[in-house]
């Protein structure tokens, strides 16, 4: 009577209960669940005809389209392993990931065909190249293959819940990216935990503002289906598209990194005016600034919930759970609480903040330690990298690399990445705290604070600032504002004004680029 814990169970249930319900919207395309899963069946048949079987790798390089979403069901049906690749990477990155993962089939969007054509000779193990859109010479056409495939439902392969479901590659900084091995059990447990805490239901309409390739869209590729809700695809993420679809498609729920929220919070009045209220927004990937939370909740009437996790934890392990006492707090204080990473999800397992000796830090809101976790959502390890796996799992816990404190109420709050904590004159400076203060300044759109070598203090904070369109501020003004609102040793030594901040495809600011002074951050 034991059934493997797998996201394919969500597909089975949705097929029975929600067949005639709208499942996917992608521009002018609309599919019911019956139509959507029929397409998944046909694509699984095509892949089986290619010789794809249990354990084989199938890679996708595409923005948020219905075809990519179909891959999250078709590939696992065969017991094969999906490799969703960041489509914004450089060709050399594609070479490394496709070769390292051992992908036999590559499915690419039309925007990536040129890049793949330029590296084909470096991909000896790839047997088939499929164009999801815009097929041309040398590429198989996805839609043509679907039309000629058998329409009968595909019987899923015999799957163990500890089998690999996906390999998700983390963003490389100074080294090659690591392949995070997520199992069927990992994804199933995280999906269930998300549904319990977020209360996703059949009436929800989910907007794909988050890349599906990023930690499997925070498992919403399966969570939306498990709830019988509607996927609304969004290929290009900007404030104009978000507001248009929130209104036009009656969106109730979306996920977004804090950088996307900043764009929403500071969108022109003509976009924000009359925006649909009541949208639930889940944010993770980096600590959001309380100022951003205040603007979105107060001005738009949207509700923000902060979660925390990593690709290696499938991804969520904590949530800033709302409690009755939070409603009694002043507006600014409530926003500060909502910016915390919070408490364990019921499915997360054990999450602790520990010091260098491995013991839990006191819950005093001041003592900094590292977030560690163990439980059913933690990855199986890094693919073909036993040394990195052993280092990540030392002491019987997965080590996140995130520095945090725990408040007396048990809510964890990230202060920085361990490597990003600035030690200035013997004092620990949290770049996240400094950024949060500066984001309250009316002229500041985005800011990143990093530590750089300093002759006197050993290390000192430096701020990179993006101003709002039409706004003005100079270094003296921001320094005075910072000194009025934080301890003086935390005030950045310099303020550098830049047109934009370097980011990953999932919206995380690349602080290593800022520390390196790359040309990408040339001053205005």
- As a whole number of angstroms, the longest Cα–Cα distance in the chain is 72
Digit-coded pLDDT (tens) for 150-159: 888 888 899 9
Q: The domain that contains 165 carries what CATH number?
A: 3.40.50.12780
Residues pairing with 509 in the sheet: 503
- Domain stop point among 418, 449, 476: 418
The pLDDT value recorded for residue 517 is: 59
- Residue 162: partners with Cβ closer than 8 Å, 6 or more residues away: 183, 184, 185, 380
Same domain? For 111 and 81 the reply is: yes
| Residue of 176, 34, 16 whose CA lies nearest to 101 | 176
Query: What is d(CA 434, CA 442) in angstroms, rounded to the nearest whole number?
Result: 15
Q: What is the DSSP string of 181-242?
A: EEEHHHHHHHHHHHHHHH---TT-EEE--S-TTTHHHHTHHHHHHHHT-EEE--SS--HHHH
- Write the CATH number for 490: 3.30.300.30
Give residue 77's pLDDT: 97
Number of domains in the chain: 3
What is the rounded average pLDDT of the residues 172-182?
79
> Quick check: is 358 in a domain?
yes
Assess if residue 508 is contained within a domain.
yes
Contact 96, 123 (CB under 8 A): no
Let me know whether 172 and 261 are in one domain.
no
Q: Which residues contact 293 (CB under 8 A, 6 or more apart)?
A: 261, 304, 335, 338, 339
Query: What does the alpha-carbon distance between residue 491 and residue 484 come to, in Å, rounded to a whole number?
Result: 10
Does 304 score more than 60 pLDDT?
A: yes
The confidence score (pLDDT) of residue 151 equals 82
- Pick the last residue of a domain from 390, 418, 446: 418
Entry pTM: 0.86
414 and 444, same structural domain?
A: no
Answer yes or no: is 15 within a domain: no
User: pLDDT band at residue 418, thresholds of 50, 70 and 90?
Assistant: confident
Please tell me the predicted confidence (pLDDT) of residue 457: 78
Same-domain check for residues 378 and 427: no
Q: Are residues 401 and 436 in the same domain?
A: no
In whole angstroms, how large is the CA radius of gyration of the chain?
Answer: 23
Look at residue 431 in the predicted model and tell me its pLDDT: 85
432, 412: one domain = no
Confidence of residue 426 (pLDDT cuts 50, 70, 90): low
Residue 371 lies in a domain: yes
Q: Which of 395, 418, 441 is the last residue of a domain?
A: 418
Asked if residue 412 and residue 295 are part of one domain, the reply reads: yes
Reported as a single tens digit per residue, the pLDDT across 113-159 is 999 999 999 999 999 999 999 999 999 999 999 999 988 888 889 99
Strand partners, 232: 25, 207
pLDDT band with cut points at 50, 70 and 90 for residue 172: low
Specify the DSSP class assigned to residue 520: G
Give the integer Cα–Cα distance in Å for 368 and 413. Answer: 10
Beta strand 369-374 with 350-354 is antiparallel
Averaged pLDDT score across all residues of the chain = 92
CB atoms within 10 A of CB 363: 16
Q: Which helix (H) or strand (E) holds 75?
A: helix 66-77
**Do 164 and 51 fall into the same domain?**
yes
Handedness of CA 196, 198, 202, 208 (dihedral sign): negative
**In the predicted structure, residue 507 carries a pLDDT above the cut 80:** no
432 and 412, same structural domain?
no
Strand partners, 517: none
Q: Are residues 414 and 327 in the same domain?
A: yes
The pair of structure tokens assigned to 322 is 């709302």
pLDDT digits (tens, 9 = 90+) for 346-396: 999 999 999 999 999 999 999 999 999 999 999 999 999 999 999 999 999
Cα–Cα distance for residue pair 475/497, rounded to 1 Å: 9
* Residue 495 located in a structural domain: yes
Q: Is residue 173 part of a domain?
A: yes
| Residue 98: domain span | 33-185
Q: List, as one string, the DSSP characters of 351-413.
A: EEEE-TTSSBPPSSS---EEEEEESTTS-SEETT-HHHHHHHTGGGSEEEEEEEEE-TTS-EE
In a shared domain, residues 80 and 162: yes
Q: Using alpha carbons, select from 153, 205, 161 the residue that is nearest to residue 187.
A: 161
Residue 103 lies in a domain: yes
CA–CA gap between residue 276 and residue 507 (Å, rounded): 24
- Tell me whether residue 22 is in a domain: no
Residues 243 and 317 both lie in one domain: yes
């Amino acid at each position: 009577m034991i059934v493997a814990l797998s996201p394919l169970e969500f597909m089975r249930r949705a097929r029975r209960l929600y067949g005639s319900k709208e499942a996917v919207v992608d521009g002018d395309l609309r599919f019911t669940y019956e139509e959507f899963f029929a397409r998944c069946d046909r694509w699984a048949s095509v892949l089986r005809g290619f010789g794809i079987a249990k354990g084989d790798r199938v890679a996708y390089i595409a923005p948020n389209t219905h075809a990519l979403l179909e891959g999250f069901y078709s590939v696992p049906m065969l017991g094969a392993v999906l490799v969703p690749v960041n489509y914004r990477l450089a060709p050399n990155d594609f070479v490394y990931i496709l070769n390292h993962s051992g992908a036999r089939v590559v499915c690419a969007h039309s925007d990536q065909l040129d890049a793949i054509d330029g590296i084909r000779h470096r991909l000896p193990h790839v047997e088939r190249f499929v164009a999801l859109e815009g097929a041309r010479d040398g590429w198989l056409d996805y839609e043509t293959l679907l039309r000629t495939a058998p329409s009968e439902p595909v019987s899923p392969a015999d799957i163990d819940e500890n089998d690999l479901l996906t390999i998700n590659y983390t963003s490389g900084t100074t080294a090659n990216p690591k392949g995070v091995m997520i199992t069927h059990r990992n994804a199933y447990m995280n999906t269930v935990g998300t549904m319990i805490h977020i209360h996703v239901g059949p009436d929800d309409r989910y907007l794909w503002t988050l890349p599906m390739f990023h930690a499997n869209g925070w498992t919403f590729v399966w969570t939306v289906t498990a709830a019988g809700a509607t996927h609304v695809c969004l290929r290009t993420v900007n404030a104009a598209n978000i507001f248009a679809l929130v209104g036009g498609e009656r969106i109730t729920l979306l996920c977004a990194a804090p950088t996307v929220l900043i764009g929403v919070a500071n969108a022109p009045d003509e976009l924000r005016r009359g925006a649909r209220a009541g949208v639930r927004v889940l944010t993770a990937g980096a600590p959001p600034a309380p100022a951003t939370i205040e603007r979105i909740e107060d001005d738009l009437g949207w509700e923000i919930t902060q979660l925390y996790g990593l690709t290696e934890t499938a991804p969520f392990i904590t949530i800033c759970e709302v409690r009755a006492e939070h409603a009694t707090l002043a507006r600014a204080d409530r926003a500060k609480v909502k910016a915390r990473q919070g408490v364990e999800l019921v499915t997360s397992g054990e999450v602790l903040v520990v010091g260098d000796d491995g013991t839990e830090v006191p819950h005093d809101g001041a003592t900094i330690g590292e977030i560690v976790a163990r439980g059913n959502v933690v990855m199986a390890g890094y693919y073909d990298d036993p040394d990195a796996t052993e280092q990540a799992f030392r002491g019987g816990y997965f080590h996140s690399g995130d520095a945090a404190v725990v408040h007396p109420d048990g809510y964890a709050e990230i202060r920085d990445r361990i490597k990003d904590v600035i030690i200035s004159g013997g004092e620990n400076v949290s770049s996240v705290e400094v950024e949060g203060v500066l984001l309250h300044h009316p002229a500041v759109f985005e800011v990143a604070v990093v530590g750089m070598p300093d002759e006197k203090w050993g290390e000192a904070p430096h701020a990179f600032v993006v101003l709002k369109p039409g706004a003005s501020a100079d270094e003296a003004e921001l320094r005075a504002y910072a000194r009025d609102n934080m301890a003086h040793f935390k005030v950045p030594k310099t303020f550098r004004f830049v047109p934009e901040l370097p980011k990953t495809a999932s919206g995380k600011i690349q602080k290593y680029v800022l520390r390196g002074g790359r040309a990408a951050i040339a001053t205005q």
